[in-house]
Chain A
Amino acid sequence: MTNTSSQMKSGYAAKKKFANGVVYAILVVMCIIWVLPIVWLLLQSFRGESGTSVSYLFPKQWTFQNYINLFTDEELPFGTWFLNTFIVAVFSCIFSTLLVLMVSYAFSRLRFKSRKTFLNVGLILGMFPGFMSMAAVYAIMGLLGLSQSLIALVIVYSAGAGLGYQVAKGFFDTIPRSLDEAAKIDGATRNQIFWIIILPLSKPIIVYTALTTFIGPWTDYIFVSYFMKDNMQNYTVAYGLYKMLDREYIMSHFTTFCAGAVVVAIPITVLFTIMQRFYVSGVTGGAVKG
């Protein structure tokens, strides 16, 4: 009796071991599939041989020249693009974060007559495809004398930011209202409550909003391509790198593109990894609560 049960136990353990082995095998294969293209990109960026694609993974000649070319090339000024993107990202991050915080505070903590109407109109506006009206925005920028300028990009990225209030509003909703009421009894105005009580408690959501809005300009292709047209000096990295793969540049810039992609990917990857835990709770927070 004891014999059979121990046999069963070991059989069960073996089965379990086997199952885990299969899982490990699947995970390893998936890891390879997911990591290999990125490794390919990294290796190509150190490739000394010129030209476009090659049939082997490891470069025959290792070099750092691609990275040097990236920042010294006059024809495709990646350094300028990087700086442009950084400036645009910083300013649109500051403005967008402020706007998002203002809107979400107003909708979350303040009660006023037309609140519902505002929320509904916001919902409807958010359903239009973002770049549907970009021709009109471009015309408006032209009238303001801002066509093909970086300021236009900052405005485009931050003017509509107020619509992205949901995640931050959800966060504000979780701060107990009794805090507000206590402060109100002590004679604080709603303005003071915002600055002294709510903002210091909102560090996570400020970080989250700032990071998402900072990352945005680094990855946007659509608006830059339409707004900057052939004004290469004002490109941002996303469109600049895309340009490098154009027929006229790809032969001479293939490995440079790989280097540029690596240079852009590193900071964004780091920022995203910092942000991801906020990201998860932001996306699913509403769902879990229903």
Chain B
Amino acid sequence: MSVGQIFREFLMIGATSFGGVVPYLRDNLVTKRQWVDDKEFVEMLSISQSLPGLNATNMAILVGEKLRGALGSVAAILGIGLPGAVIMAIVGIFYRQHGDHPWATAGLKGVAAAAVGLILFTVVQLSKKSLATRFDFVFMALTVIAVNRLHQSVPRTLIGVGIMAVLFHHPRRAEKGGPRL
């Protein structure tokens, strides 16, 4: 496929993926276009999750690279990001002008509370999928305590607890098992 086709496909995903990008990526790239197979998709998703960056944009880079190298990656990330960026730019302008309207403040309170529920759900889902041992829950709790209670910065926590957890899962232990991400 051409770079233009990659851009158009990701632009469509970027414009229609309401409520989370991953299912739309799978539907379009695996099922409809068959640009990547299911096993590859799962592997790419697991890389996307361990790297910094959003799943959506990391997946765009990985799939784009696989299809057409550097140009493919650029086309994919521009495509997937463009619609949302334009929409949010417009939303931002409206919000600045009308955000203090009583209807808006009331509605936004509800929207924000719902977003908290949504993040909690993501936490539960990811925990079910990737927390294998009791120690993983300890590392998770340490991270939360460091940021919210001890007011450590996110990078310091990420490096500190991250190194501990990676060393804990050193290759000999990782080999023994535990479900893959």
The yes or no verdict on A and B being binding partners is no
